[in-house]
Amino acid sequence: MSRIGKKPVGLPSGVTASLSGRTIEVKGPKGTRSFSVSDDISITVEGSQVVVGPRGNSKRARQQWGMCRTMIANIVTGVSQGFKKELEISGVGYRAQMQGNVLKLNLGLSHDVDYKAPDGIIITAPKQTEIVVEGVDRQAVGQVAAEIREWRKPEPYKGKGIRYKDEFVFRKEGKKK
């Protein structure tokens, strides 16, 4: 039995869910998202809750039960509140700025890095050393933040690079004389 799958997904006020065949469509103040489930999973919308269950006792149905419930919960959270990842830049001369839909990063490379924000993702740079990635799709927000971080990962000796706001970088001791 899936402990996560047993819990119904609550729909906050202003969010509606409609079911058409194997696809659930969730509408909220931040947009509309949909998710298609496999034939092994059953979905029902009961009032202000979405209930997910397995269609049988097969191993595949039990494997996908909790995952489908989590995906639907992420969609509900995305259209009601949205998702946000915060990155911070540390290092001498490292900075970020937005120019229209393009994030310009100066990371000590021989060239500036230009990162174009994909559709549905909002990137802002409130300070030169901060980047905020926002959107309704949790996977897309995490992917964009990871791609930005990939340009200059935090190094363990001085801690320079791009890191997540709550990330701890294990620091190493330098050379000894």
CATH class of 83-164: alpha beta
Q: How far, in Å, CA of 117 to CA of 156, rounded?
A: 29
Domain 3-80: CATH superfamily is Ribosomal protein L6 (3.90.930.12)
Radius of gyration of the chain (CA): 21
pLDDT tens, 53-106? 998 888 898 889 989 999 999 999 999 999 999 999 998 999 999 999 999 999
Q: Which amino acid does the sequence have at 80?
A: S
> To 10 degrees, the CA torsion angle through 136, 142, 145, 150?
-160
Q: Among the residues of the chain, which ranges form H helices?
A: 3-6, 59-80, 138-150
**Burial class, 177, CB count within 10 angstroms (exposed 0-12 / middle 13-18 / buried 19+):** exposed
CB 170 within 8 A of CB 135: no
Q: Which amino acid does the sequence have at 113?
A: V
pLDDT band at 177, cuts 50/70/90?
A: confident
pLDDT tens, 20-41? 988 999 999 999 999 999 889 9
Beta carbons within 10 angstroms of residue 111's beta carbon: 7
Q: How far, in Å, CA of 36 to CA of 74, rounded?
A: 14
The first and second tokens of residue 121, run together, are: 């993702």
Domain boundaries for CATH 3.90.930.12 within the chain? 3-80, 83-164
CA 34 to each of CA 45, 55, 73, 144: distance values in angstroms, whole numbers, following the listed order: 14, 21, 12, 20
pTM for the full predicted model = 0.87
Q: How far, in Å, CA of 55 to CA of 65, rounded?
A: 9
